[in-house]
């Protein structure tokens, strides 16, 4: 039986961390000085800042579920594709369902922790779904 790629194993644990409602567990998959940039925004640098970014999604979508669609490993880089679902029932939430896919481009440490993640998803569509719901398209 072939041994599972350690990056795929880490990506599966990262996925579970996003579903855990524990932002620190997401941040634990990063190096101490790791960074997460979402849609070309300002990077969250360090585990505390990364946990804060994760917390924002977890607060907005208390039932957040992230599914790993695929992960491709290329040396010390990886491409992690995901689909996020949840309901915007956090403080001031719309009560609307959200379903959005995206990906992260990772630079990995030798210990298979994320040094840098460049995350991408359609923010306009995400915001529309927060307002109108995932199933509201004509």
**Residue-level pLDDT at 37:** 98
3-state SS, residue 19: coil
pLDDT for residue 132 is more than 70: yes
Q: Cα separation of 46 and 110, whole Å? A: 18
| pLDDT tens sequence across 16-61 | 999 999 999 999 999 999 999 999 999 999 999 999 999 999 999 9
All domains of the chain in start order, with CATH: 6-132 (3.10.450.50)
Q: Cα separation of 47 and 71, whole Å? A: 22
Strands (E), the chain: 30-38, 44-45, 65-74, 77-87, 97-108, 114-121
| pLDDT tens sequence across 73-97 | 998 899 999 999 999 999 999 999 9
**Residue-level pLDDT at 138:** 55
Q: Cα separation of 71 and 88, whole Å? A: 27
pLDDT for residue 3 is more than 90: no
Tell me if the pTM is above 0.85. yes
């Amino acid at each position: 039986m072939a041994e599972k790629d350690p990056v795929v194993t880490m990506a599966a644990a990262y996925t579970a961390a996003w579903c855990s409602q524990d932002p620190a567990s997401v941040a634990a998959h990063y190096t101490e000085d790791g960074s997460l940039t979402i849609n070309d925004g300002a990077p969250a640098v360090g585990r505390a800042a990364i946990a804060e970014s994760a917390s924002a999604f977890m607060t907005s979508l208390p039932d957040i579920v992230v599914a790993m669609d695929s992960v491709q490993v290329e040396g010390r880089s990886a491409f992690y594709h995901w689909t996020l679902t949840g309901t915007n029932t956090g403080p001031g939430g719309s009560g609307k369902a959200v379903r959005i896919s995206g990906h992260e481009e990772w630079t990995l440490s030798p210990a298979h922790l994320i040094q840098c993640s460049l995350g991408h998803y359609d923010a306009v569509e995400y915001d529309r779904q927060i307002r109108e719901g995932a199933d509201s398209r004509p």
